[in-house]
């Protein structure tokens, strides 16, 4: 509910979000940011959802990636921003190299792919 009430958070640029997260959490709390990303997607703010997930991915640890596959994050997975996130962090390259795509993202044609 705090996420929905914080109107400033919902309109922050990526740089502003990084500053906010640094002030709130320091360099950690990957899991908290990923959880907030899932909540943002559930409440309909897909831009904020993907940006928070990007922040989580930028922090130490590897478990935040699991939250990208939560059912409530499905709307965010369908965005171009999510496709960019998957490319930026090397997931797409891994999937294409191994041929092992996950349950939610599949190649379409050429370099394009879609997620559900």
Name residues of the chain where pLDDT drops below 50: none
- The whole-number pLDDT of residue 63 equals 83
Q: Residue 38, exposed/middle/buried by CB under 10 A (0-12, 13-18, 19+)?
A: buried
pLDDT at res. 17: 94
Using CA atoms, how far apart are residues 39 and 24, in angstroms rounded to an integer? 18
- DSSP output for 7-50: HHHHT--HHHHHHHHHHHHTT--HHHHHHHHHHHHHTT-HHHHH
* Calpha distance 76→94 (Å, rounded): 21
pTM across the whole model:
0.91
């Amino acid at each position: 509910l705090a996420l929905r009430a914080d109107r400033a958070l919902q309109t922050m640029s990526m740089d502003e979000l990084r500053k906010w997260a640094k002030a709130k959490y320091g360099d950690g709390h990957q899991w908290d940011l990923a959880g907030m990303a899932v909540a943002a997607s559930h409440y309909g703010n897909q831009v904020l959802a993907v940006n928070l997930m990007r922040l989580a991915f930028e922090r130490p640890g590897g478990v935040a990636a699991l939250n990208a596959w939560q059912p409530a994050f499905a709307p965010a997975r369908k965005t171009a921003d999510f496709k960019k996130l998957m490319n930026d962090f090397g997931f797409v390259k891994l999937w294409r190299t191994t041929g092992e795509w996950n349950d939610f993202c599949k190649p379409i044609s050429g370099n394009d792919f879609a997620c559900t």
